């Protein structure tokens, strides 16, 4: 399992240029793969070669990996990712396509599928089901913190690591991934700086959201999903700790498979074979 079959490419939309990786059969089912927060398209480097019958395009979300950052003064509002996904699909010429999302990418995929049900053929969710929600009475606090963080943005220096190994070590401390999985993600998210390396990802990605959805809004999007849906979670994953998993899953009318596999939050990168088997079974392969 390697990236030998991958083709790096760029996708031009009307406002941003997105970096992407393509795998598989150009005549296969079109699948747009969306990674998690602060990850990148390399999140699918091990899974995609196991799904060679698909036409799979994994993108670097805006501000991540090699994709362009949003213009100065802008934040990374969750809802803007929905527009990005549809713009990318249009640029690819895909009228109907499947979505494969991990974590943040799974949340984005749910909102897209609930908003544009006529365009989504299949929905495959890895360790994610809808965006994070907050209680309605927290909106003022979230807005205050977001504005204050934006004021301070740019005053803090980004870390520069002496070498790739140091960056890998730093990333390993904040996740439960296997070290070789960390290496895969980090390699795509580094650039040279002052004799060392630093992250490519936009520092604004770490700023808090100005406005979160309330749970009723999230569940409304989930109820709008009509595509056959696969949900894969890890026994030691993150999603089950966030609560409301079963409640949200019950909102999706066409969940055909909901499976729990060994592994953590990045189970598709740490151990892709079981995940690929579930996807192939789901798609009838």
pLDDT digits (tens, 9 = 90+) for 213-260: 999 999 999 999 999 999 999 999 998 887 789 999 999 999 999 999
* Three-class HEC string of 23-82: EECCCCCEEEEECCCCCCHHHHCCCHHHHCCCEEEEECCCCCCCCCCCCCCCCCCHHHHH
What's the token pair of residue 33? Answer: 């793969």
Q: Which CATH class is domain 7-135+214-282?
A: alpha beta
Backbone angles phi, psi at 191, to 5 degrees: -140, 155
Torsion of CA 142, 148, 151, 157, to 10 degrees: -90
Residues 6+ apart with CB under 8 A from 285: 53, 279
Interatomic CA distance for residues 13 and 209, integer angstroms: 24
What's the token pair of residue 86? Answer: 């549809």
- pTM of the prediction? 0.95
Burial class (CB in 10 A: 0-12, 13-18, 19+), 217: middle
pLDDT digits (tens, 9 = 90+) for 62-121: 999 999 999 988 889 999 999 999 999 999 999 999 999 999 999 999 999 999 999 999
| Number of C-beta neighbours around residue 235 at 10 A | 11
Backbone angles phi, psi at 231, to 5 degrees: -120, 120
Q: Which residue has the tokens 């401390």?
A: 173
Listed residue (202, 177, 176, 179) closest to 189, CA to CA? 202
Residues taking part in catalysis: 103
Interatomic CA distance for residues 75 and 48, integer angstroms: 31
pLDDT digits (tens, 9 = 90+) for 163-206: 999 999 999 888 788 999 999 999 999 999 989 999 999 999 99
């Amino acid at each position: 399992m390697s990236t030998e079959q991958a083709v790096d490419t760029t996708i031009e939309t009307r406002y941003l240029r997105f970096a992407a990786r393509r795998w598989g059969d150009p005549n296969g089912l079109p699948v747009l793969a969306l990674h998690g927060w602060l990850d990148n398209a390399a999140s699918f480097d091990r899974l995609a070669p196991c799904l060679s019958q698909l036409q799979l395009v994994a993108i670097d979300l805006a501000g991540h990996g090699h994709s362009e950052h949003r213009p100065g003064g802008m934040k990374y509002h969750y809802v803007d990712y929905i527009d990005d996904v549809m713009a990318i699909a249009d640029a690819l010429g895909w009228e109907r396509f499947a979505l494969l999302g991990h974590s943040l990418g799974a949340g984005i995929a749910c909102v897209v599928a609930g908003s544009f049900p006529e365009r989504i053929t299949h929905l495959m969710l890895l360790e994610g089901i809808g965006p994070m929600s907050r209680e309605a009475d927290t909106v003022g606090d979230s807005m205050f913190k977001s504005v204050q963080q934006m004021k301070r943005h740019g005053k803090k220096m980004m870390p520069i690591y002496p070498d790739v190994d140091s960056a890998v070590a730093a990333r390993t401390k904040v996740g439960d991934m296997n070290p070789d999985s960390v290496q895969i993600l980090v390699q795509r998210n580094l650039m040279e700086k002052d004799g060392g390396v630093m992250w490519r990802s936009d520092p604004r990605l770490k700023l808090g959201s100005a406005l979160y959805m309330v749970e009723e809004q999230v569940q409304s999007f989930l109820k709008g999903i009509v595509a056959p849906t696969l949900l894969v979670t890890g026994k030691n994953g993150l999603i089950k700790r966030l609560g409301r998993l079963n409640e949200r899953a019950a909102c999706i009318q066409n969940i055909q498979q909901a499976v729990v596999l060994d592994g953590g939050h990045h189970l598709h990168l740490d151990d892709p074979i079981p995940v690929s088997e579930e996807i192939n079974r789901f798609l009838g392969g």
